[in-house]
Amino acid sequence: MIVIKFGGTSVGDAERVSSAIDIVAERRELNPIVVVSALSGVTNDLVAATEAACAGDGDRVNAIVDRVRQRHEDVAMRLVQQKFDFFETFVKRLDKQIEEIHTILRGITLLREVTARAHDKIVSIGEKLSSVLFAYSMMMRALPGEHVESEDVIWTNDHFGGATPRMDLTSEAARKTLLPIIERNHIPVLGGFIGRTVDGATTTLGRNGSDYSAAIVAAAVGASEVQIWTDVDGLLTCDPRFVPSARVIDHLSHEEAAELASFGAKLHPRTLEPAIEAGIPVRVLNTHNPASLGTLITREGTERARGPRSVARKRNVTVVHMTSNKMLGAHGFLAKLFHVFEELEISVDLIATSEVSVSVTVDEQHDLDELRTRLTGVADVEVIDGQCIIAIVGRNLLADAMVGARVFEAMQGVPMQMLSLGRSGLNLSIVIDDADSDRAIQRIHAALFEQAVAV
């Protein structure tokens, strides 16, 4: 068995859905399980409708929901128009889901607020609709697609908006639900991103969580591989939008890929957790170029690969500098600082320390006024917005002094706020002003990769 996951851009319109079905058909003998994201942009539309409801803007709510409905009907018409009964059945399911959205949003409009539970219920409908559409479209092509409700497969805790799977219950449910379908020589199709609590409430796994769903399902049923189909040829040495010379990396270790995922690579950061634990390889492939071998991600990677593998960037970062003479020789001072971060649920990416100061990076979305207040009297706090992390990811970066030398030479004239290199030698991170990040990432990529022969 393999698990095939298609992202939103891979099922964005009728032509792309048809291409994705071609990919499934070519892998029919491998007993595929298909996981699909919402049509590209639909989740954003559902979030926008929820925000409009909170603002009491009923007209905008109706306009957005009508647009979501019309888009799915248009795609379905093009895909299953030759069989009116398929189209009619899909439209009935579509109207039922749309009415459910309207019911929830009417309540939100009255209350002018939305619970995390209700929010998950609304945004999950994008994947519900796309997976039904995909299964019906497969049947139109004489492929025995069989739609499965994701809530019947993936069980989670009740952390709405970013739920964690309960793998014991999920493994039992997945095998009970999916294996009989495969034994009938049918192809299960389910929406990604979605789970359920033991009480039956719909949960989501966080934005872009369909990759994570695919890995969870693969681990639950003991699949031999997870294939993540997206709109690029795999994981690259850099973002090709900014560095056109970026190349595909043919093979990465789980650790390297996890580092890249956390810095915005085309992979959900938590995708690799179930794969690592189950020893399942993950392959990142391009729906628009199915002949490409993509990037293979395995536990150990490839032994021949040492040194830098990719340069990644994380934008919208804030640096928090905390300075205090009380740190000198004090026990537990850092614990006091980070206890405040924990209580305020502010996650930290990078940390750098000296004798009298600590610097950290956090996502720009955090409101740090309360942090300043809580740290008054403990440390002087300076907050610098508009920053960016550039990360050089690879294996044994500590073992090659030339890596650092090339990076620092490339960074001449670019002021740095922070520098961080973990003991694992997997990630050398530099924090700079976002305005300098384009030229910095281009220079670093040129210094590390443009003279290299292979990655």
Give residue-wise pLDDT tens across range 330-340. 777 888 889 99
Which pLDDT tens digit goes with each residue over 158-206? 999 999 999 999 999 999 999 999 999 999 999 999 999 999 999 999 8
More confident residue, 49 or 364: 49
**Taking 70 as the threshold, does the pLDDT of residue 63 lie above it?**
yes
More confident residue, 376 or 56: 56
* Res 302: pLDDT: 67
Taking the domains of the chain in order of start, what are their residue ranges?
Answer: 2-230, 308-449
Domain 2-230 identical in fold to domain 308-449: no
Average pLDDT of the residues of the chain: 91
Which pLDDT tens digit goes with each residue over 202-223? 999 987 799 999 999 999 999 9
Q: What is the mean pLDDT of residues 392-418?
A: 88
User: Which CATH number is 308-449 given?
Assistant: 3.30.2130.10
Q: What residues contact residue 231 under an 8 Å CB cut-off, 6+ apart?
A: 7, 9, 10, 266, 286, 287, 288
Single out the residue of 235, 287, 213, 272 nearest to residue 33, CA to CA: 213
Q: pLDDT grade, residue 455 (50/70/90)?
A: very low
**Taking 90 as the threshold, does the pLDDT of residue 5 lie above it?**
yes
**Taking 70 as the threshold, does the pLDDT of residue 262 lie above it?**
yes
Q: What is the mean pLDDT of residues 234-256?
A: 91
Q: What is the mean pLDDT of residues 235-262?
A: 90
The sign of the torsion formed by the CA atoms of 340, 343, 346, 347 equals positive
**Taking 50 as the threshold, does the pLDDT of residue 124 lie above it?**
yes
* Res 438: pLDDT: 94
Percent of the chain's residues with pLDDT above 90: 72
User: Which CATH number is 2-230 given?
Assistant: 3.40.1160.10
Cα separation values, 119 from 59, 157, 162, 395, Å: 19, 16, 12, 40
Q: pTM score, two decimals?
A: 0.87
Which pLDDT tens digit goes with each residue over 7-20? 999 999 999 999 99
* Res 303: pLDDT: 60
Across 252-261, 266-275, 325-334, which has the greatest mean pLDDT? 252-261
**Taking 70 as the threshold, does the pLDDT of residue 304 lie above it?**
no
* Res 439: pLDDT: 94
For residues 315 and 298, give the distance between their C-alpha atoms in angstroms, rounded to a whole number: 28
Phi, psi (deg, nearest 5) at residue 289: -145, 65
Q: pLDDT grade, residue 319 (50/70/90)?
A: very high
* Res 452: pLDDT: 47
- Per residue, the 3-state secondary structure of the chain, as one string, reads CEEEEECHHHHCCHHHHHHHHHHHHHCHHHCEEEEECCCCCHHHHHHHHHHHHHCCCHHHHHHHHHHHHHHHHHHHHHHHCCCHHHHHHHHHHHHHHHHHHHHHHHHHHHHCCCCHHHHHHHHCHHHHHHHHHHHHHHHHCCCCEEECCHHHCCEECCCCCCCCECHHHHHHHHHHHHHHHHHCCCEEEEECCEEECCCCCEEECCCCCHHHHHHHHHHHHCCCEEEEEECCCCCECCCCCCCCCCCECCEEEHHHHHHHHHCCCCCCCCCHHHHHHHCCCEEEEECCCCCCCCEEEECCCCCCCCEEEEEEEEEEEEEEEEECHHHCCCCCHHHHHHHHHHHCCCCCCCEEECCCEEEEEEECCCCCHHHHHHHCCCCEEEEEEEEEEEEEEEECHHHCHHHHHHHHHHCCCCCEEEEEECCCCCEEEEEEEHHHHHHHHHHHHHHHHCCCCCC
Q: pLDDT grade, residue 301 (50/70/90)?
A: confident
